[in-house]
Amino acid sequence: MQSSKTSLRRQLRQARKSLTGYRRDRQQQRIRRFLTAIPQVRHARRIAAYMPFDGEPDLFPFMRRVESKIWLPMIRSDLHLDFRPAFTLNTKAQRPINARRNRFGILESQRLPILRSAQMDVILMPLVGFDRRGNRLGMGAGFYDRSLVGLRRPRPTLIGIAFDCQEMAQVPADPWDVPLDYIVTNRGIIKTNR
């Protein structure tokens, strides 16, 4: 199972990174437009987003518009994710105030308070791969998976963000995987009935 996931990840990360220029811009724009049409996103007080890396869809224009609602993941020493209020997103400084790079080079916020995933209204998760049933392939470190274990209703709305080239017929699902409620791609919104 892990080895088949590993080669899938490599292929799909390559596909995600290969999308460039005007095509990338246009697809990202569509993703942001669809995202803002989801009622739970419009009504959310706290939205967990992400600082794009490895060719992930860039949500920045959206994040800036609702900056005070945006929370960013931090990797805890026990390999769970918690969330901190976003640092100032419109900064032009080389090193944004209140931000620091984690071990992967992704900017993490240093602001307080620190909240758990259960306290987010919406969690936007960048996907490496997905299927239409809401199964998700991530970076393979299990950070999101671990942080989503044991969420009780009403739980945050889980929304995967991907380019349509990352769709697969079926993601090999593991028992600990928590399915997504929505997947937003440049083609539209997929509601998964989970």
Ligand X SMILES: Nc1ncnc2c1ncn2[C@@H]1O[C@H](COP(=O)(O)OP(=O)(O)OP(=O)(O)O)[C@@H](O)[C@H]1O
Ligand Y SMILES: Nc1nc2c(c(=O)[nH]1)N(C=O)[C@@H](CNc1ccc(C(=O)N[C@@H](CCC(=O)O)C(=O)O)cc1)CN2
153 annotated as a binding-site residue: no
Task: State whether the Cα torsion 9-11-12-14 is positive or negative.
Answer: positive
Task: State whether the Cα torsion 49-53-59-64 is positive or negative.
Answer: positive
The CA distance from 78 to 70, in Å, is 23
Among 15-23, 47-55, 59-67, 111-119, the segment contacting ligand Y (CB under 6 A): 47-55
Q: Which two tokens stand for residue 26?
A: 């246009």
Question: 35 with 159: CB under 8 angstroms?
Answer: yes
104 lies in the site for ligand Y, by CB under 6 A: yes
Query: What is the CA angle 163-168-171, rounded to 5?
Result: 115
Instruction: Name the residue nearer to ligand X (CB basis): 5 or 132.
Output: 5
The residue from 49, 72, 122, 137 that contacts ligand X (CB under 6 A) is: 137
Query: How many residues belong to the site for ligand X (CB under 6 A)?
Result: 16
Minimum distance, C-beta of residue 190 to ligand Y, in the bound complex (Å): 19
User: Which residues form the interface with ligand Y (CB under 6 A)?
Assistant: 50-53, 56, 73, 75, 81, 104, 106, 126, 138-141, 143-144
User: Which residues form the interface with ligand X (CB under 6 A)?
Assistant: 5, 136-146, 149, 174, 176-177
Q: Which residues fall in the annotated binding site?
A: 5-9, 51, 56, 136-144
